[in-house]
Amino acid sequence: MDLESEKSRNGANHFENVACPFCGMACDDLDIGPSGNGGLKVLKNGCARSIAGFERPLVEPSPQVDGKNVTLEEAVRAAAKLIQTSKLPIFGGLGTDVEGSRAVIALAERGGGVVDHAMSPATYRNIRVMQSSGWLTTSLTEARNRADLFIFAGCDTHKNNPRFFERVVCTEASMFSDNPAKRTVIFLGEGLDQSAAKGNRIGEVLTLPCKSDRIGEILDAMRALQKSLALPSGDIGGLPRAAVDDLYARCKASTYGVIVWDPASFNFPGGDLTVNAICEFVKEINATSRFAGLSLGGNEGVPSASSVCAWQSGYPLRVSFANGKPEYDAERYDATRMLAAKEGDLLVWLASFGDNLVPPETDVPTIVLGTPGLKLSRKPKIFIPVGTPGVDHSGRVIRVDNVVSLPLRKLRQSKLPSAADVLASIEAAL
Ligand code: SF4
């Protein structure tokens, strides 16, 4: 769809109900207008993260090969040549939309490479649990309309998904009641920002301070209580036994409880076991109470990349096409591990949302398709500036709860190509 047909009836360059691509929430209620200096301004429903993204000034530098300006066609030809001569290219970063993800997987398939996302280390804490024992999760909409208890397990939601409280936890209306009950909000962890838990809908706000790597013990203990098993009388996970009993009683008494976590917060050995403890407790307590998990984060397009990879290969990321067919190995095809072990000889890196998704330090030649302001520590072999989906071109992203995809709109005139178009051109030149 072209820019003219995207404009709202409010006038030139004023867009309503815009979907935001800058975190996994994909809020779709923003108003964006002109800034007065040729850029964009968030007029309504923004947060600091979305303002930084939408109001980033437009710059349109030339592609570069070996630090020298070239045309896009020359950069595409040079990239195709590098991929053609590579024994095992690694396609990493994958900060892109659904279309970009489809294109990069098609290119990896053609070029015989490995695909992995920059956020995979966190995402795999979830994927391992999904694969091994399954889980019972809810959607943003279901949580907003039904939950009377939110437990934030070790995650500072404010940082990664800034409007989660505003859009889900603190909303006063519910689809199912004219007078919805107040919500209890419990922060399970150390130093979590509670400032957003406020407003008429919020009842009690409690803090249970414990270290992130001990949250699993607390969930396991509550699971034992649900199974009527005996527990020792002392502290559990750094909490007094009475606090664990009280937390369990609140879970049992709730009509719809939700445990929220962000896998990025469990960055310690065995972090996936904490996700597992949460999910097993949720499954167990559903025998007598309604309860669900909700994993947040999902930034830099990781839900889009993992979904597209699953649709197209049957596996969620960390897939190799080197043998002409998709081969899945969550350990072997970890891009970070492969680069450190020098198992790939070319890195193709995608980062089209923010300026901070930089490639890891590596000696292998690197092709970067990135935002013009990407904070690269050194010049890659090839740099092709690309537009941001939902700003410079239309597209689609999958929301963090994996239940909907949101259409993204082109909001400004930009010469920056989409990552999908550049990747398709490279594939055509192979
Ligand atoms: S919370 Fe996330 S999706 Fe919503 S406006 Fe902020 S950055 Fe955008």
pLDDT one-digit tens code per residue, 34-63? 998 879 999 999 999 999 999 999 999 999
Q: What is the pLDDT of residues 220-253, one digit of tens each?
A: 999 999 999 999 889 999 999 999 999 999 999 9
In this predicted structure, the answer to whether residue 410 has a pLDDT above a threshold of 80 is yes
- Ligand 1 and 393: CB distance under 6 A: no
Ranges of each domain in the chain: 3-54, 64-119+300-400+415-429, 124-295
Write the pLDDT tens digit of every residue in 118-150. 999 999 999 999 999 999 999 999 999 999 999
- Output the CA 296–ligand 1 centroid distance in Å: 12
Instruction: Give 256's Cβ-side CA count (13 Å radius).
Output: 17
Does 23 sit in the ligand 1 pocket, CB within 6 Å?
yes
- Mean pLDDT computed over 195-210: 96
User: Is residue 297 lining ligand 1, measured as CB closer than 6 Å?
Assistant: no
Average pLDDT over residues 159-165: 94
CB-based burial of residue 62 (10 Å sphere; 0-12 exposed, 13-18 middle, 19+ buried)?
Answer: middle
User: How many Cβ atoms sit within 10 Å of the Cβ of residue 379?
Assistant: 12
User: Is residue 225 a contact partner of residue 260, using CB atoms and an 8 Å limit?
Assistant: no
Global confidence as pTM: 0.94
Q: Which atom of ligand 1 lies closest to the CA of 163?
A: 1
What spacing in Å lies between the alpha carbon of 23 and ligand 1's midpoint?
5
Ramachandran bin of 317, using left for φ above 0, alpha for ψ from -120 to 50, beta for the remaining angles: left
Give the C-alpha separation, 69 to 67, whole Å: 7
Q: What is the best residue among 15, 17, 25 to mutate for testing ligand 1's pocket, by most ligand atoms within 8 Å of CB?
A: 25
Tell me how far apart the terminal alpha carbons of the chain are, to the nearest angstrom.
Answer: 29
Atom of ligand 1 nearest to the CA of 22: 7
Q: In this predicted structure, what is the pLDDT of residue 173?
A: 84
CB of 25 within 6 A of ligand 1: the answer is yes
Q: Which amino acid is at 240?
A: P
Ligand 1 neighbourhood includes 400 CB (under 6 angstroms):
no
The whole-angstrom distance between residue 55's C-alpha and the CA centroid of its chain comes to 21
- Which range has the worst mean pLDDT, 3-12, 108-117, 325-334? 3-12
Q: Which CATH architecture does the domain made up of 124-295 adopt?
A: 3-Layer(aba) Sandwich (3.40)
Q: Is the CB of 409 under 6 A from ligand 1?
A: no
Task: Annotate 150-197 with DSSP letters as a single string.
Answer: EEEES--HHHHSTTHIIIIIS---BTTBSSPPPEEEEEESSS---TT-
Cβ of residue 20 lying under 6 Å from some atom of ligand 1: yes
- The CATH code of the domain at 64-119+300-400+415-429 is 3.40.50
Would you state the pLDDT for residue 7?
A: 53
pLDDT digits over 364-407, tens only? 999 999 999 999 999 999 999 999 999 999 999 999 999 999 99
Could you tell me what percent of the chain has a pLDDT over 90? 92
Residue closest to 370 by CA, chosen among 356, 350, 388 = 350
Name which residue sits closest to atom 3 of ligand 1, judged by CA.
Answer: 26
299 lines ligand 1 (CB under 6 A): no
